[in-house]
Amino acid sequence: MSSTAPSARPASRTPGPRRRRTALAGFLLVPLALAGCTATAEEDTAATGAASGEATAGAARTAEAGGVSAGSTVETLQESYQQVISEVLPSVVEIRTPNGLGSGVVLDEQGNIVTNAHVIGASTEFEVQFANSAVSYPATLVGTYPQNDLAVIRVEGAPDLQPATLADSDAVEVGTLVLAMGNPLGLSSSVSDGIVSATGRTVSEPPSEAAPAGATLPGTIQTSAAINPGNSGGALVNMRGEVIGIPTLAATSPAGGGGAAPGIGFAIPSNTVKNVAPQLIEDGEVTDTDRAALGVTVTTLADSSGQPAGVGVVGVEPDGAAESAGLREGDVITSVDGQQVRSTAELSAVLADLEVGQTVDVTVQRDGEEQTFQVRLGELSAAG
């Protein structure tokens, strides 16, 4: 499904814009900026220090309330952090492209590395550097899936690869202690700490070189661990040393003029990586997206005041879900599954939370009358 509606993007992003007719962007309650955009080293240091200080102080307060020595608890927590960092950091790499840098996570001993699609952009060749190493190794593109902002590259000639362990992200709970590992601002092997603040968030990314129409990411993990530019594609890790997600977005604050909103970052869940990465490694593309679609090309319609007022259908996929249910070009979609949709972004967010094969009510305006159709949702194609 795709859209012609324009999409706002942070001023700090460098990739050029493209019309939104090829994919629907998503919807989030706050504007977001990709973690790979530019920033200053001072901002990174302050954010990381604040997150670390709060987590450690919180552990000490909890220990005192329970009658346990705060010093002992902090020391134990510190030892746990050090052990996890020692285990996982060798699996986290820095990825350099002609347009910038990001992070990645080693998947296997064959050299496959998962990262964000927006990190690699349109590049096909990269340089990969491992933690605490001055040596870099060449890597090539295996496959990319911008709709979920994931990509796999393969490094050549690197010795002693240490694959990361991917957790079951469906089991992740709010309050879980986590560490974010990556290369913020080019500061390799950096770590920040925090907790899982929420799960199951549907968030939107602005347009990028990899996804000119933007992308909608369902089921993301929200964390208070500092996610700074360059962390994109790295590892969000639990205290068992398992990767629960791939840090992807950091929120920006409208009140702060688009500046960083500390303590609000998002990661693609590891179970999504488990679905997408093997397909990219095996086939070079994603054939099973596991994401619902209506099978229409749409655009946002505005009312007389210029506000979004509905989603106009400008094209219907032959034999797709919408056509089979009776929708046609010229219909204006106003709700899906009982949820109002006034824009392509809202429609994309609603669909992101639905299942392939699920039957839902789709309400449209046609020739001045309201009609409701029951649509059995199809699957989003890898092309969007």
Q: Residue 70 corresponds to which tokens in the numbers above?
A: 């705060």
CA atoms within 13 A on the CB side of 105: 33
The matching CATH number, chosen from 3.90.180.10, 2.40.37.10, 2.30.42.10, 2.30.30.40, for 292-379 is 2.30.42.10
CA distance 12 to 5: 21
Decide if pLDDT at 46 tops 50.
no
- Output the pLDDT for position 383: 66
What mean pLDDT, rounded, does the chain reach?
81
Residue 347 has pLDDT above 50, yes or no: yes
Question: What does residue 283 show for φ and ψ, rounded to 5 degrees?
Answer: -115, -10
Structure confidence at residue 256 (pLDDT): 57
Q: Percent of the chain having pLDDT more than 90?
A: 58
The per-residue pLDDT for 47 is: 37
Looking at the annotation, which residues are catalytic?
Answer: 118, 149, 232
Residue 18: which pLDDT band, with cuts at 50, 70 and 90?
A: very low
* pLDDT at residue 106, as a whole number: 98
pLDDT of residue 1: 52
The token duo for 366 is 């046609």
Per-residue pLDDT tens over the stretch 360-375: 999 999 999 999 999 9
Q: Using 50, 70 and 90 to split pLDDT, how confident is the model at 9?
A: very low
pLDDT top residue among 124 and 24? 124
* Per-residue confidence (pLDDT) for residue 380, from 0 to 100: 87
Residue 59 has pLDDT above 60, yes or no: no
Q: What pTM was computed for the model? A: 0.76
pLDDT of 277: 97
What share of the chain has pLDDT > 70, as a percent?
A: 78
Higher pLDDT, 152 or 252: 152
Pick the range with the lowest mean pLDDT from 16-20, 58-62, 335-339, 379-383.
Answer: 16-20
Mapped onto helix, strand or coil, the DSSP state of residue 48 is helix
142 has pLDDT over 50? yes
39-46: long-range contacts (C-beta < 8 A, 24 or more apart)?
39/12, 39/185, 39/228, 39/229, 39/260, 40/185, 41/185, 41/187, 43/228, 43/260, 44/184, 44/185, 44/187, 44/190, 44/226, 44/228, 44/229
What is the rounded distance in angstroms from the CA atom of residue 315 to the CA atom of residue 313? 6
* pLDDT over 50 (residue 319): yes
For residue 158, what are the contacts with CB-CB under 8 A and spacing of at least 6? 111, 128, 130, 137
pLDDT at 137: 96
pLDDT at 25: 29
Three-class DSSP labels, 299-363: EEEECCCCCEEEEEEEEECCCCHHHHHCCCCCCEEEEECCEECCCHHHHHHHHHCCCCCCEEEEE
In CATH terms, is domain 26-288 a member of 3.40.50.880?
no
Report strand pairing: 112-115 vs 150-155.
antiparallel
| pLDDT tens column, 185-198 | 778 888 999 999 99
Spans of all domains in the chain: 26-288, 292-379
- Note the pLDDT of residue 8: 29
Asked if the model's pLDDT at residue 53 lies above 50, the reply is no
Q: Say how far apart CA 356 and CA 275 lie, in whole Å.
A: 15
> What pLDDT does residue 369 have?
94
How far apart are alpha carbons 128 and 108 in whole angstroms?
Answer: 15
Give the pLDDT band (50/70/90) at residue 20. Answer: very low
Average pLDDT score over residue span 56-82:
64
DSSP letter string, 231-250: -TT-EEEETTSEEEEEEEEE
- Residues 159, 226: contact at Cβ < 8 Å? no
If you average pLDDT over residues 87-105, what whole number do you get? 94
Angle formed at CA 156 by CA 155 and CA 161, multiple of 5 degrees: 70
* pLDDT (average), residues 142-161: 94
Max CA pair span of the chain: 72
pLDDT of 152 reads 98
- What's the confidence (pLDDT) of residue 207? 75
Query: Quick one: average pLDDT of 220-249?
Result: 94
249-307 confidence digits (pLDDT tens): 888 776 656 666 788 999 999 999 999 999 999 999 998 888 999 999 999 999 888 89
More confident residue, 143 or 231: 143
